[in-house]
Structure 1
Amino acid sequence: MWPGQQPPGGEPNPQHHPHQQPGNPGAGPPPPPDRPPGFPPAPPPPGPDGGPWGGAPAPDARPRRTGLTAVVAVAVAAAAVAGVLVITDDGKDSGAGSAADAVQGPSGPAGSGGPDGSGDPDGSGGSRKLVTPAHSSGPDGTTVVIGEAGADHTLDLYEDLRCPPCAAFEQGVGPAIAEDIEDGTYKVSFHFAAILDKNLGGSGSTNALSALGAALDVSTDAFLDYKAALMSAKHHPQESEDSFSDDDYLLTVSQEVHALRTNASFRAAVREGTYDPWAKKAVAAFDASGVSGTPTVELDGSPLRGSGGSFPVTAAEFREAVNQRIKDD
């Protein structure tokens, strides 16, 4: 069984006011000057003769006119700049495009914080719109059930696509499960975790699930075949490697699946992260399930055990456990 999830970290440090220094909460922005910058100082009080220079002879008027001209020139220049800014702003509003337009995602401006996947308040995928793959169901499309709807039994399979024990289970038991689905022995409900992303860092578990969602949108057979290819001994990485975080690697693996090899919509969905919000919703559903490790397999709601109560890791052990459970029912 793969280890449980890492407990969440501590609370982030509080945000400091932009005008306060750390450790000095009383400091604030500097007080405004007595007079706005750029204005000439106030003249001195009148002199005994009523002149502006305290009774001294008035200086030549030429420097005064020059200073006045400089002030007027500055004011004119400021007005010209203001005019340019106004014109630029008008042009932006009239069709040049605003900054908000540039960062707006399919579901609204980034960081809008809505419950539909925008702003990522619940790990649903940032500002992207939640798109659910075809052949999914349930809340937010996170239920993936493959097999005959009227099957008498349901196999629940909990996996982390980046998890080596899950890959070993897929390699040993996956073909038997695919045959049982075909025969109608049971239907399979798939659940996906991102335990390694959380414990080791990286995004391979979630990114591979997003690509698997793109395969599910093509067909359930493409989903099963692509999942088998991702978990194969040929393509599955070591737990210390985050190969599945690379879209190019995921697309290379997809060449093993005939239905995906030349499928342009699948490739575009992987490149664009179309199903990233869906993958995060699926991971959140696993986190709420109460299952603490992967792989975990349950038949009709009860853990499935092989001989001696161990987890079935071979097709023979798995089939024996399934047949015994069905017989007992």
Structure 2
Amino acid sequence: MWPGQQPPGGERDPQQNPYQQPGHPPPPDQPPGFPSAPPPPQGPPPGPGGGPWGGAPAPADRQRKGGLTAVIAVAAAAAVVAGVLVFTDDDQGSRVGASDDVVQGPPGSGGSGDPDGSGGSQGPGNLVTPAHSSGPSGTTVVIGEADAEHTLDVYEDLRCPPCASFDQAVGPTIAKDIKAGKYKVSFHFAAILDKSMGGSGSANALSALGAALDVSTDTFLDYKAALMSSKNHPEESKDSYADDDRLLAVSQEVYALKTNASFREALREGTYDPWAKKMIADFDASGVNGTPTVKLDGSQLTGGGSTPATAAEFTEAVNKQLKG
């Protein structure tokens, strides 16, 4: 389960549109700190010969050398204790650092594990960003030609059924336009349904999508399409994507992820959980209060008074704005 989220099935105000942003919640709590270090050893273990480093004392001048050995052993033990205390302080300081501490990993780098030993999908304290992300905090996902003259901003919630319908209808056209250089696309993700209905599927799926982005941008697009497909996307009332096993099952439809061990490890260990939380916080601060929302060069695209629902409506809206 995603840390700090309510279980699915919570009651919802019938007047609240689940796809409308209910407000700007405070920044998410930071992940728990690094676990306490074990108690320091009382001294170095004796070696096979009885001395502190394995050497047997020489027979000559036994009393003087025995005293010197004891002094050296006490000093070594004190140094070990001091070393352990210094390491523990430094390590705790790094784990409790701000979530904006960015660690950019190479493609397929995966994450740093489950720091609290709980076995859950909980990411490390530092913000680990996927390869192929950008921006000051590494939470900008832009796909397309860098010198493309126009930018399409797409705002979605991976748990949102209308977003899935939009992706099924318009996603292939967007992928084609990216390859043609018509525009580059900046993706933004919300967790509106996690907040309005309870659960963690929006955030957990976004963390998994970050692991796919770490493989390649094409893998990101393919996995996103699989998550949003009519075959896989859950009903509004079901928080299916809170389950890592379900996300892994969907990944088997993407060739690049079928046998990708680093992707599986990152998903299981929640490597990109803090990254997903930061992405969601950025959406909350964007001023966009509903999904799906699409903007071209900062101006919202509409078809029939709302977000284009078909490929034809979308292309018409894009061409009209580009000509205008």
TM-score, normalising length from structure 2? 0.67
Q: Is the 8 A contact 1:105 1:127 kept in 2?
A: no
Give the aligned partner of residue 216 of structure 1. Answer: 213
Amino acid at match of 2:307: F
Give the aligned partner of residue 105 of structure 2. Answer: none
SS of corresponding position for 1:138: coil
Give the aligned partner of residue 78 of structure 1. Answer: none
2:314 is the alignment partner of 1:323: no
Shift of 1:157: 0.2
Pair member with larger Rg: 1
SS of corresponding position for 1:140: coil
Q: Is the 8 A contact 2:24 2:285 kept in 1?
A: no
Give the aligned partner of residue 257 of structure 1. Answer: 254
Give the aligned partner of residue 294 of structure 1. Answer: 291
Amino acid at match of 1:262: T
Shift of 1:7: 4.5
Gaps of 5+ in 1: 11-87, 119-124
Partner Cα separation in structure 1 for residue 186 and residue 246 of structure 2: 27
Give the aligned partner of residue 168 of structure 1. Answer: 165
Partner Cα separation in structure 2 for residue 262 and residue 244 of structure 1: 20
2:262 is the alignment partner of 1:245: no
Q: Which structure is richer in relative contact order (CA contacts within 8 A, separation 6 or more)?
A: 2
Distance 1:200 1:136, change over 3 A: same
Q: Is the 8 A contact 2:18 2:197 kept in 1?
A: no
Distance 1:2 1:174, change over 3 A: farther
Q: Is the 8 A contact 2:123 2:273 kept in 1?
A: no
Distance 1:265 1:89, change over 3 A: closer
Aligned length: 238
Give the aligned partner of residue 57 of structure 2. Answer: none
Shift of 1:326: 1.0
Shift of 1:242: 0.7
Identity %: 68
Calculate the aligned-residue CA RMSD, in Å: 2.8
Partner Cα separation in structure 2 for residue 261 and residue 127 of structure 1: 25
Partner Cα separation in structure 1 for residue 261 and residue 160 of structure 2: 29
1:227-282 Cα deviation digits (max 9, x unpaired): 00000001100111111111111010000100111011011000010000000000
2:306 is the alignment partner of 1:310: yes
Gaps of 5+ in 2: 1-16, 27-38, 44-76, 103-121
Amino acid at match of 2:148: A
2:25 is the alignment partner of 1:5: no
Shift of 1:115: 4.8
Amino acid at match of 1:114: A
2:237 is the alignment partner of 1:271: no
Partner Cα separation in structure 2 for residue 189 and residue 9 of structure 1: 23
Shift of 1:4: 2.1
Shift of 1:310: 3.1
Amino acid at match of 2:314: F
* Alignment of structure 1 residues 88-103 onto 2, 5 Å: 91=42
